[in-house]
Structure 1
């Protein structure tokens, strides 16, 4: 898996016991968790009333657009 990720230009962010500190990894994890919580604030995405991929994609796109619009000055 690591070789596959390296070929794609993605660096692995896994803390190893005694080698890496997990403190450094927390910064990146927080960004992901915050973004997911913003998306799940939209009830339709959190509960998933609709099962079709097209509807879920459209609602996710709309949610991301609203989130970005709120973040603009």
Structure 2
């Protein structure tokens, strides 16, 4: 739905709000397009108050595993979509081993990889 690059030593929860704002409107068969997805599934790495607050402010239902309380096995049936997409992106050698020093060029290749993955998925169903 959205792609954003960040530093390797930056925790994912710090760019969580800007990534939520980068998600385009969700298209539906009938009616007006929704501005945001209905709910978000995340692992324990996003179990912070600011992440839950960011979701609440945007009207998105949170399904975040709690640290030290819940097992993350229940999220496995939803997280596999993300992990599968990362595996598809790792098939592109230029993305798996980052050769570019400029982030705009790396972002361009990442978006190109996402476009190729989407194109292959559309051709598979047509």
Q: Do the two structures share a fold, i.e. TM-score over 0.5?
A: yes
Give 5+ residue unaligned stretches, structure 1: none
Cα distance, 1:22 vs. partner? 3.8
Residue equivalent to 1:12: 62
Give 5+ residue unaligned stretches, structure 2: 1-49
Q: Count how many residue pairs are aligned between Structure 1 and Structure 2.
A: 71
Residue equivalent to 1:56: 106
Residue equivalent to 1:37: 87
Q: Normalising by structure 1, what TM-score?
A: 0.77
Cα distance, 1:21 vs. partner? 8.0
CA offset digits 1:6-61 (Å, max 9, x no partner): 1123333233537x8842x2121100100111111111011100021111111011
Q: Normalising by structure 2, what TM-score?
A: 0.48
Kindly indicate which of the two structures has a greater share of residues assigned to strand.
2
RMSD: 2.2
Kindly indicate which of the two structures has a greater share of residues assigned to helix.
1
